[in-house]
Amino acid sequence: MSNVESVARTVARKLRVKRLVDRTTALGLRVASPPYLFFTWMGPAKLPTSRQTLRRMGLYPIRDHYYQPLFNDEHLTKKLSAVRALPGINWRHGDQVALMDQLTYRQELVDLDLAAEPRGDLDFSISNPEFGSGDAEFLYSMVRLIKPARVIEIGCGNSTRILQLALRRNSAETGQECEHICIEPYEMPWLEQLPLRSGALRRSRSSSTRSPSPSPSSAASGGSGCRPATDNRNPFDAGEHHHMKLAHCSASADRVGLQ
């Protein structure tokens, strides 16, 4: 048997297993759905014990109903990508084009070989499912262009990896370290492996609003903030608290943050 045939059979076997797991899970969900549907129909206020049980499970059902968050795209009457009139937003198209003309870091990105397989936890790969092509190159280029004195990152992951590449390049050019504040209360244990260079990196594992807090002076001194767009928004968590303060600080300092 050739190597190609062996790989093909392995892939086919994995696909069959995935389909079996998917169908079995779908069957289980159908069997388990009646009590969840009943819970959403009655409402959590009338079923407090059930509500507490679901909270402890870390699970909360929603129903295909106009009072519930929309998840069924069959109800959409127009494509979300369709052109819309948004008179309340000034897109400043000319400024956007001018900014793009300043992002001249294509060769640097090519030299970084971002498509290569990562060899360690701190290595960035463009093929990751969370922060891939487009987002990664733009973030790298913006940090290289702005050369911020401080970056406050709320929610860490692959954006942290590409940020570190840009910050190290900035440091090599200017001789100055950027303070990189990583606020990640829940995941990414590899953050502990990031090298501490002259106190340039700060890590916060706090899930409360006691995490390092931005101030107007941080924005005025060249600070920037970024938050992954995939994060779940909780109005009371540290991430949302700092995200809103960053927006306020950037506005009060007449600066554009990497929101």
State residue 257's pLDDT score.
42
In a domain, residue 161? The reply is yes
Token look-up 């870390």 returns 58
Q: Are residues 104 and 223 in the same domain?
A: yes
> Each residue of 188-234: pLDDT tens digit?
889 988 877 645 677 777 654 455 455 544 444 455 656 554 454 45
**Domain assignment of residue 39, yes or no:** yes
Comparing 138 with 255, the larger pLDDT belongs to 138
Crossing angle for the helix pair 135-146 and 158-174, to the nearest 10 degrees: 30
Question: Does residue 101 sit in helix, strand or coil?
Answer: helix
Q: Kindly report, residue by residue over 146-172, the tens digit of the pLDDT.
A: 999 999 998 899 999 999 999 999 999
Using the CB atoms, write b or e for 207-243: b if 16+ within 10 Å: eeeebbbbebebbeeebbbbbbeeeeeeeebbbbbbb
Query: What are the CA-CA distances from residue 37 to residues 44, 53, 142 (Å)?
Result: 12, 15, 47
The answer to whether residues 182 and 245 belong to one domain is yes
Nearest-angstrom CA–CA distance, 148 and 181? 12
Do 169 and 229 fall within a single domain?
yes
CB distance 138 to 146 below 8 Å? no
Bridge partner list, 202: 181
**pLDDT tier at 70, thresholds 50, 70, 90:** confident
> Are 114 and 224 contained in the same domain?
yes
If residue 112 lies in a helix (H) or strand (E), which one and from where to where? helix 106-112
One domain for residues 66 and 98:
no
pLDDT digits 0-9 by tens, 29-42: 999 999 999 999 99
85-95, pLDDT tens digit by residue? 888 899 899 99
Q: How many domains does the chain contain in total?
A: 2
Q: What's the domain range around 7?
A: 3-72
On whether residue 82 sits in a domain, the answer given is no
